[in-house]
């Protein structure tokens, strides 16, 4: 992980837990979530040194890759594992799996998430665009019960438009901060009932990915 432009090892290791949490949101299965993370890191380590060195923000790359794997599994249930696969590489699994987010990473995530939430609450699309990384993505999960984007949306402009249409300016919607999988996220409520839970992935001072859960079945505990 010593490539030029790569983030610190601690940040790379910390991202694994976040990827696990995202996959658990999508599938509710530890087995499926572990498969997503193993496949994400398998693709990372299958890159040659030159390819990895050319990735300016590994965290963003990992997040996008995990998102595409999740979406492929959601659209093709046959790809969702139901029996344990081969165990991950013991060195990689042990080193990555035991990492815990440090206070500095959590504090930075909190600052960026609050800026994102503030833009949503204020309906400030310019500020929203400003907090997004140029290659940001948004993935939404409606569970087939609520209209959501079928595929990830790429690019800060497109993400800002989608988030603004979905989260900003909806009558009677209250945007609040909440702890989402142990990190600062957003909870949107109407008439006291949760209608969306939003988590963001952060690199530096920018949001690299927005994960929106709209599936009513997954929102019950947030009411």
pTM, two decimals, is 0.61
Q: What is the pLDDT of residues 99-131, one digit of tens each?
A: 445 688 788 889 999 999 988 888 788 999 999
Please name the fold of domain 103-222: Nuclear Transport Factor 2; Chain: A, (3.10.450)
127 token code pair: 């500020």
Q: What is the pLDDT of residues 73-85, one digit of tens each?
A: 776 656 566 555 6
Q: How far is the C-alpha of 10 from the C-alpha of 19, rounded, in Å? A: 15
Sequential DSSP letters for 81-148: --S--PPPPHHHHHHHHT----HHHHHHHHHHHHHHHHHHHHT-HHHHHHHEEEEEEEEEE-TTTS--
What sign has the CA pseudo-torsion 203, 111, 107, 197?
negative
166 token code pair: 């979905």
Contact between 70 and 26 (Cβ < 8 Å): yes
Instruction: Centre a 10 Å sphere on the Cβ of residue 160 and count the other Cβ atoms it contains.
Output: 24
Domain boundaries, the chain: 9-97, 103-222
Q: How far is the C-alpha of 60 from the C-alpha of 54, rounded, in Å? A: 13
**What residue ranges of the chain have pLDDT lower than 50?**
1-10, 86-100, 145, 150
């Amino acid at each position: 992980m010593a490539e030029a432009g790569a983030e610190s090892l601690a940040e790379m290791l910390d991202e694994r837990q976040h990827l696990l949490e995202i996959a658990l949101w999508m599938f509710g299965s530890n087995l499926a979530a572990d498969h997503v993370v193993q496949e994400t890191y398998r693709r990372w380590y299958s890159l040659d040194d030159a390819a990895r060195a050319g990735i300016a923000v590994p965290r963003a790359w990992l997040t996008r890759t995990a998102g595409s794997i999740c979406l492929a599994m959601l659209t093709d249930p046959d790809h969702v594992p139901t029996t344990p696969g081969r165990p991950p590489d013991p060195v990689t699994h042990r080193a990555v799996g035991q990492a815990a987010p440090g206070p500095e990473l959590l504090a930075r995530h909190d600052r960026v998430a609050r800026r994102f939430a503030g833009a949503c609450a204020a309906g400030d699309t310019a500020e929203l665009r400003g907090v997004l990384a140029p290659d940001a993505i948004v993935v939404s999960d409606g569970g087939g019960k609520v209209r959501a984007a079928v595929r990830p949306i790429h690019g800060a402009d497109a993400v800002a438009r989608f988030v603004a249409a979905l989260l900003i300016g909806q009558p009677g919607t209250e945007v609040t901060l909440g702890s989402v999988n142990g990190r600062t996220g957003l909870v949107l409520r109407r008439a006291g009932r949760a209608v969306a839970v939003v988590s963001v992935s952060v690199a530096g001072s920018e949001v690299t990915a927005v994960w929106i859960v709209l599936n009513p079945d997954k929102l019950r505990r947030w009411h």
